[in-house]
Structure 1
């Protein structure tokens, strides 16, 4: 007898499953991404008197302009001038657990008259900060801001520091425009300033470094 070969084809069933990094499987709308990044944005307000809707982004030197009290360009020995700035996160931003004030540097593209930096070296700085509600007018930035109960970022109630002194790190800006930090700057010309400082000008610029993590 001749043997007859037989070929047998076995059928199989196949199935596959996909998953997506989206929110449809968690009760979200189909097609909605499930992975993304947070938003982190801090703004400043240098208006004086304070105006609630004047928040701006000024992320490069020289930045927003501080509004000093009268006599900023006509200092005489013993004079002090004051200027406020407020910081806040924007709506939708995560919080800023810490904010650090960097030491002053020369403002970009602002011409000054201070050969050898003598006036910049002579000027003294103090900075205080207080936390307030978003868009609430802070206390007037003045000599009264620098009493014993104040939170000092630069200097103290009894001491001043060089103009380019970096400030202490403070906390914290709440998320979603939840509060604001109200800074008050004091610049003073010592009473023993020499006559060689007459007729000079400076344009110091400060940077606030904020982070969504502690720094």
Structure 2
């Protein structure tokens, strides 16, 4: 007597036999149409230049203190009411595949730079303004002077130790745009400042972070 069990085994006279069957498998993979891989990651890198006219010399300085910005003459002999200026340009690298949003953070003391500012009195007394403007590609840099600080371009103004940009700026992918930043540092004119000998003969080295995030 033969019987077919629910599991597909043919039972004859108490002996079990497995029914033979054809098998087949099909596979697909993530490809690029030419035999290569089809999934990967883009590249993302923002670089800076502090050398006018800001068309070359872009490089990475990704840790505090970063690269030294040279302020206008008189920056180490400030008197109350005086301001000094320095500029920097940022852009993505030519191989960067996505745009970047960049935001200037409030200044902090530069790491590894020796200053003469016991108690941080001068650092606390100084004020800063930050202006910015974008140009396509490697266009000419604007002049970093008091004239740069008009309403559309000013993105931060206030105490040095607590003032960053009010909003981020968008950098195009592939070095397609350059964002210029102008910093104005001022020793405010006031009766207290003018009469204070505690602020005389001091030095500071503020450092600013440009925090960048990729944009999809």
TM bucket normalised to smaller: 0.7 to 0.9
1:189 and 1:7 map into 2 onto residues whose CA distance is: 98
1:158 is matched with: none
Q: Could you list the per-position Cα deviations for residues 11-54 of structure 1 after superposition, in whole angstroms to 9, with x for gaps in the alignment?
A: 4322211111222xxxx221x1111111111111111x224220
Residue matched to 1:167: 165
Q: Which residue of the partner structure matches residue 129 of structure 1?
A: 132
> Is the radius of gyration larger for structure 1 or structure 2?
2
Residue in structure 1 matched with residue 66 of structure 2 by the alignment: 63
Q: CA RMSD in A?
A: 2.0
Partner of 1:76: helix, strand, or coil? coil
How big is each residue's C-alpha offset from its partner over 1:35-85, in whole Å with a ceiling of 9 and x where there is no partner? Answer: 1111111111111x2242200111100011112111111111111100011
The structure 1 residue matched to 2:183, chosen from 168, 180, 185, is: 185
Question: How far apart are residue 142 of structure 1 and its match?
Answer: 0.6
Report what 2:6 is aligned to.
none
Gaps of 5+ in 1: 156-160
- Give the match's secondary structure for 2:120: helix
Say if 1:191 and 1:18 are closer, same or farther in 2 by CA, change over 3 A: same
Question: Residues 109, 13 of structure 1: CA spacing in aligned structure 2 closer, same or farther, 3 A cutoff?
Answer: same
Kindly tell me: are residues 110 and 17 of structure 1, through their superposed partners in 2, closer, same or farther at Cα, counting changes over 3 Å?
A: same
Gap change, CA 1:13 and 1:145, over 3 Å in 2: same
Change beyond 3 A, Cα 1:14–1:189: same
**Between Structure 1 and Structure 2, how many residues are aligned?**
198
* TM-score, structure 2 normalization: 0.85
Question: In 2, Cα distance between the equivalents of 1:153 and 1:8?
Answer: 83
Asked if the contact 2:115/2:204 (under 8 Å) is kept, the reply is yes
Change in CA separation of 1:80 and 1:8 when aligned onto 2, cut-off 3 Å:
closer
1:79 to 77, 82, 85: 82
Which blocks of at least 5 consecutive residues in structure 2 are unaligned? Answer: 1-11
Higher strand share: 2
Equivalent residue, structure 2, for 1:117: 120
Measured in 2, the distance between the counterparts of 1:153 and 1:55 equals: 23
